[in-house]
Structure 1
């Protein structure tokens, strides 16, 4: 059996957390060449690079991110072990690891997760952002408890996972005060030729929007496309174009980004799922998330 050198793992973990070999070496009371050599030995043992080095900047590779997540858990357990042996019982917390696809609106993520914070048990979230297919792989390896997504697991995916529909809502078209004044009359026909900011082609919302535009003979001017929903909203806030959000978070987006709603498109439905490896939900935090979403968040509000 090939044993893992935990000293090397500790050196890697500290360096990854600090982001600098020089500062990590100082904290560990090691010479920088010694620290660099120990990390290279760990990389050699794993047979993969853990850092991409560009000058003095360190960035974790894909393998490095996996190793770092394990190291976080290993050394967190080590601290708990020390406290337990010394007679100090660590505060009990319910841990929930959540996968979040890049394009999923972060306000939706927050609103979905928020009810778990009201449980009697204290909940610690570990949110991992990434591509949907990559997150499914992490779920299959039981590194995630659930994935929040705006689409179900594709039928052709060879992963045993179950889709739990949390709810659905229409979409709202938002824009700055100036764009509202220019395009709110005759909505939605006013969208023809209007500057819009859209999610990229690989998203469910983009495909649905394009079908709706085609069906209604509307041809907006696609000014920019974004994979990250947060960046899209910042551009929308600056007046670069109109943008679309789930109606469930319309009021909060308007408040946070100082924009107005031109109108709602009820024919387009945004659906949100909790994806787990369990047919029936068992984790108390996930049950709280599911119940709140179905009974509150996605109850359509009147315009």
Structure 2
């Protein structure tokens, strides 16, 4: 079976809009018989009748309604393509953002807030670094938010802009923080550790230096879950304050007064593009993030 003929689809869409073969033929400067042949060829290609004749009017069948829905989307996408490449489109496409699954939701919101305030539609996808960078390289994403600079051997000219760096601290219910030293705190209270590489490596080094073998209550690959577990009193969250900003502001969670010597950087990763998303430049210029 051959590919779909989009001329047939265009003629079909006009007939569906007009509800009349003759008017559609007149609008497209075709004879009525030629238009009829085009519609019949499309029906043969799709294997379904697209119209029912009701008097002099042509009504769409169920298959016809489905075909019209797809046709409208196809031709709208084509019009958007031309407008985008000609820089004449007045409505921007969604900003497609990829975010590392362990990245703080609060951080993501801070970065996106200016775009959302400008009523920019946002498509947000989370995942692992390899998958997100592959999608970015394929132009399926406009930007990837992560905590690491991409390796230089990946074959793609990634550009990583450092947006912010925030200290990693211990956060938990206030009654869990009543210890006189960092060592006592780590020896006594269970920890909620994210799997994010910078934080995990920093904590491993710190624990080795202090010769402390703590109890790990949970190892989590989602910062939202780190936040929830800390809020429920499961243990102390090892994270930047931005992860628990709301709980800290309300007093439900407090921050231990000890410097861990660990900082988590935040990067926006892009690839060079001739037609970048219009909202991206201003987000990268401001960083979109105010460190806590």
The question of a shared fold, defined as TM-score above 0.5 by the shorter chain, is answered with yes
> Which SS does the other structure have where 2:95 is aligned?
strand
Structure with larger Rg: 2
Pair 1:164 & 2:158 matched? no
- 1 CA distance for matches of 2:71 and 2:163? 35
8 Å Cα contact 2:176/2:189 also seen in 1 = no
Where does residue 189 of structure 2 map in the other structure? 194
Identify the match of residue 230 of structure 1 among 224, 229, 246.
224
Alignment of 1:27-176 (within 5 A): 77=73, 92-119=91-118, 122-176=119-173
Q: Relative to structure 1, is the Cα distance of residues 79 and 165 closer, same or farther in structure 2, using a 3 angstrom cutoff?
A: same
Displacement of 1:210 after TM fit? 1.1
8 Å Cα contact 2:148/2:267 also seen in 1 = yes
Pair 1:267 & 2:264 matched? no
Displacement of 1:5 after TM fit? 11
TM-score normalised per structure 2:
0.64
- 2 CA distance for matches of 1:230 and 1:5? 48
Pair 1:215 & 2:209 matched? yes
- 1 CA distance for matches of 2:275 and 2:238? 31
8 Å Cα contact 1:136/1:159 also seen in 2 = no
Displacement of 1:188 after TM fit? 5.7
8 Å Cα contact 1:98/1:125 also seen in 2 = yes
Q: Relative to structure 1, is the Cα distance of residues 176 and 128 closer, same or farther in structure 2, using a 3 angstrom cutoff?
A: same
Q: Relative to structure 1, is the Cα distance of residues 248 and 293 closer, same or farther in structure 2, using a 3 angstrom cutoff?
A: farther
- 2 CA distance for matches of 1:104 and 1:76? 38
Where does residue 3 of structure 1 map in the other structure? 3
8 Å Cα contact 1:281/1:287 also seen in 2 = no
**Can you give the 5+ residue segments of structure 2 that lack an aligned partner in the other structure?**
7-69, 81-88
TM-score normalised per structure 1:
0.62
**Can you give the 5+ residue segments of structure 1 that lack an aligned partner in the other structure?**
7-73, 85-89
Displacement of 1:142 after TM fit? 0.2
8 Å Cα contact 2:199/2:264 also seen in 1 = yes
